[in-house]
Chains A and B, each alone.
Chain A
Amino acid sequence: MMNKIKGKTKLNSNSFLLMVTVLMFLLMYIAGMIIYQDKGFAKPQMFLNLFISNAGLLVIGCGMTVVMITGGIDISVGSVTALVCMAAAYSMENKGLSVYTAVAASIGIGIVYGIVQGYLVAYLDIQPFIVTLAGMFFARGMTAVISTEMISIKNELFLKWANYKLYLPFGTVNKKGIYQPAYIYPTVIIALAAVILITIMLKYTKFGRRLYAIGGSQQSALMMGLNVKKTKFEAYILNGFLAGLGGFLFCLNSGAGFVEQAKGMEMDAISAAVIGGTLLSGGVGTAVGTLFGVLIKGTITSLITTQGTLSSWWVRIALSTLLCFFIVLQSIISFSKKKRKKKTGS
């Protein structure tokens, strides 16, 4: 009598959304390759640059995805990145400490942030937006307290890491006829590893599934005997860790510490996660989706740069128009899919 509910559920609405995102990314990128073929958009290195430039954001986005799945949010990540960069730069340049100490400091800052914010959110039940807003203020202010000067990192080992190219077995010939092999930096590998690990964690560990349960319904998760507080706490710590790590990757790319660094990065991370299908209300999201969210944002920026004749303000407007187009299309597709499903229910 109720077998009509059965079947055709394999592709649930969430994986459908992810598919749409991936498809749209491919369409956009291929369109760019055709339109801007003569401007090098079709080169493999152009694609790899998306990863190179966004490695830090990717790791931070993964952390954001984790807290967003629990129904939380973290808008401190941009400032934490700045703090991490500043701490790393300061410790290496002004204190003469080693790169390893800097890495430890970066991740340490991230974890401490995770612990404090996590405690406030999970155990004192304070709204995550506010806790992390305060966190954002604090980190930005602390960056200024450490140093208001720009610090350029000149540590040899650091620069060696930052400049260490991993050449890939393919490449292109430039207009002077020189073969240029495609390359990536180690940061890309770390970032992709983070995506893979978080994906596995979300899908195949108890902790991962608890995150989804809490995001779906905190009350229910509690009633089903899950430790909601602890899970949330751990989610923020994980996020803090990833913010620290991502911050350091960001630092490897930007090679400096200064107060204004990574401003607005939290919004980049949030929108990347959202474009990748993560819901701000919690319970839905994947790291792979976030990966594509980051790639889409990167591609939009890259398209605009390649275009190359927009005034400053048109850049912003174009950026948000594409973003708008994307978000609206996504919402319409998922909406009509929901409707259609209701109609064809029986």
Chain B
Amino acid sequence: MNITCKNFKSGFRKLSGRRLFMPFICLVLVLLVNVIKTPDFFEISIKNGVLYGYLIDIINRASELVILAIGMTLVTAASGGQDISVGAVMAVAAAVCCQILSGGKVTTNTFDNPLLLAILIALAVALLCGAFNGFLVSRLHIQPMVATLILYTAGRGIAQLITKGQITYIRVDSYKTMGGYIGSCPVPTPIFFAVIMVSIVYLILKKTALGLYIESVGVNGRASRLVGLNSTKIKFLTYIICSVLAGVAGIVASSRIYSADANNIGLNMEMDAILAVALGGNILSGGKFSLMGSVIGAYTIQALTTTLYAMNVSADQLPVYKAIVVIIIVVLQSSTFKKQLAGLKIRKASKAIEGGQ
């Protein structure tokens, strides 16, 4: 009995030493709140031929955020700063995609151009945005947040310019699949997008040395240069990846509403993406990173939002609760806090011993 207990304890310690442990626990905690408050929260049923339930909503709704968060993680790791233009880039990509599909009309019931072409051009434009950001950060050594502030301001203007200030509607069913369902598949398509994007980035990191390069450049750029890494190129690359992913997220978001809403697609998503990176246990000043942590962070944020909706918190007061939960989570994750807590325990224990003597 004692031995198993010990084993369990050491196993637990090992587990809790893992980097993903805290982010994961936080996600679970957020979900657990629902067990008491909204018992049917975990119910998943098939309704109208598709999966239905709060959990599905969370996973579905978080898709864009997940896609953004992985890009943001790489940028953060390599350049020690954040790309705050991702939301705007989403809008730009969506605008390009819809404008090509509609052929310039405000609303269309048929594709004017092939869907694939539109998507590719939209992603290419997103890539251009990334190249612009990357150039400013890696070549001109402008601080990331400042460099991306430019597109953050301009992006929605560009998107509106493309759509001529209108919301462009693509009322074609096949356009809705990316944000809806493919055929009779009961799983929402955005989930696939998220899974595929995470897998692609994960595989790239796994199958190449990019991950190590990014970390190395992020931790010490000068030393990295001397061991033969081209930090300019690597930072540049991360910005491109981040923007292309933002483009993908933009297309998914646009497909959900089968339109390009330059003002609202991806609005305030950059902050949530950064938050996801931080909740995933990543340091915002660059260096070591955990992709999966950010993914968990993204789901945590959406879980929180959906939970609050389910608990009938009015949307305008939602930020208050969000702020409180975020602070609780980061305080729990803070190593200083853990240390202080441990210190408290030790002190208590030693007092107990003193008292016993």
Contact = CB atoms under 8 A, between A and B. Distances in A.
* A contacting B, Cβ–Cβ less than 8 Å: yes
Interface of A: 120, 123-127, 129-131, 133-138, 140-142, 144-145, 148, 259, 267, 270-271, 274, 279-281, 311-317, 319-321, 323-324, 327-328, 331-332, 335
Contacts of B159: 313
Given A135-B323, A320-B153, A130 B275 contact: yes
B239 to A, nearest CB: 15
A319 B153 contact: yes
A251 B316 CA distance: 22
B278 A129 contact: yes
B145 interface: yes
Best-buried of B154, B271, B285 by chain A (most CB within 10 Å): B154
B284 A130 contact: yes
A133 B271 contact: yes
A184 B156 CA distance: 35
A140 B318 CA distance: 9
B195 interface: no
B356 to A, nearest CB: 32
Contacts of B283: 127
Interface string B155-180: 01111110001000000000000000
A335 B136 CA distance: 13
B161 A317 contact: yes
Contacts of B321: 141
B35 interface: no
B319 interface: yes
A72 to B, nearest CB: 11
Contact of A331 (B140, B158, B320): B140
Among A140, A141, A270, A281, residue most surrounded by chain B Cβ atoms (within 10 Å): A141
A137 B320 contact: yes
A311 B166 CA distance: 13
Given A130-B275, A316-B154, 12 more contacts: A125-B335, A130-B330, A133-B271, A133-B326, A134-B323, A134-B330, A138-B319, A141-B316, A274-B146, A317-B157, A319-B154, A324-B150
B20 to A, nearest CB: 18
A313 B160 contact: yes
Interface in B228-262: 262
B154 A141 contact: no
B142 interface: yes
B324 A323 contact: no
A129 B147 CA distance: 17
A83 B232 CA distance: 42
Given A133-B275, A267-B152, A327 B319 contact: no
B157 A120 contact: no
Given A130-B284, A259-B316, A331-B140, A314 B157 contact: yes
A316 B156 contact: yes
Contacts of B345: none
Given A120-B331, A127-B284, A327 B154 contact: no
A123 B336 CA distance: 8
A138 B325 CA distance: 10
A43 B224 CA distance: 54
Most A CB contacts (10 A, CB to CB) among B150, B316, B330 go to B150
A92 to B, nearest CB: 22
Contacts of B160: 312-313, 316
B147 A327 contact: yes
Interface of B: 80-82, 136, 140-143, 145-147, 149-154, 156-161, 165, 262, 271, 274-275, 278, 283-285, 316-324, 326-327, 330-331, 334-337, 340
B288 to A, nearest CB: 14
A142 B320 contact: yes
30 contacts: A120-B331, A123-B336, A124-B337, A127-B278, A130-B330, A133-B271, A133-B326, A134-B324, A134-B326, A135-B323, A136-B271, A137-B322, A137-B326, A138-B323, A138-B324, A141-B318, A142-B320, A274-B143, A280-B143, A311-B165, A312-B157, A313-B160, A313-B165, A316-B154, A317-B157, A319-B154, A320-B150, A320-B153, A320-B154, A331-B142
B294 to A, nearest CB: 13
A300 to B, nearest CB: 11
Given A133-B275, A274-B146, A317 B316 contact: no
Contacts of B80: 281
Contact of B142 (A120, A131, A327): A327
B319 A133 contact: no
A95 B285 CA distance: 45
Nearest to B272: A133
Contacts of A331: 140-142
Nearest to A281: B143
Nearest to A332: B140
Nearest to B335: A125
Nearest to B339: A125
Given A145-B320, A331-B141, A126 B330 contact: yes
Q: Which 9 A-B pairs have the closest CB atoms?
A: A316-B157, A141-B320, A141-B319, A320-B154, A138-B323, A313-B160, A137-B319, A144-B316, A137-B323
A232 B327 CA distance: 19
Contacts of B262: 313
Contacts of A124: 331, 334, 336-337, 340
A145 B165 contact: no
A124 B334 CA distance: 7
Given A141-B321, A148-B316, A271 B140 contact: no
A323 B153 contact: yes
B142 A328 contact: yes
A267 B326 contact: no
Q: Which of B146, B158, B278, B318: most chain A Cβ within 10 A?
A: B146
A186 to B, nearest CB: 31
A141 B314 CA distance: 10
B45 to A, nearest CB: 33
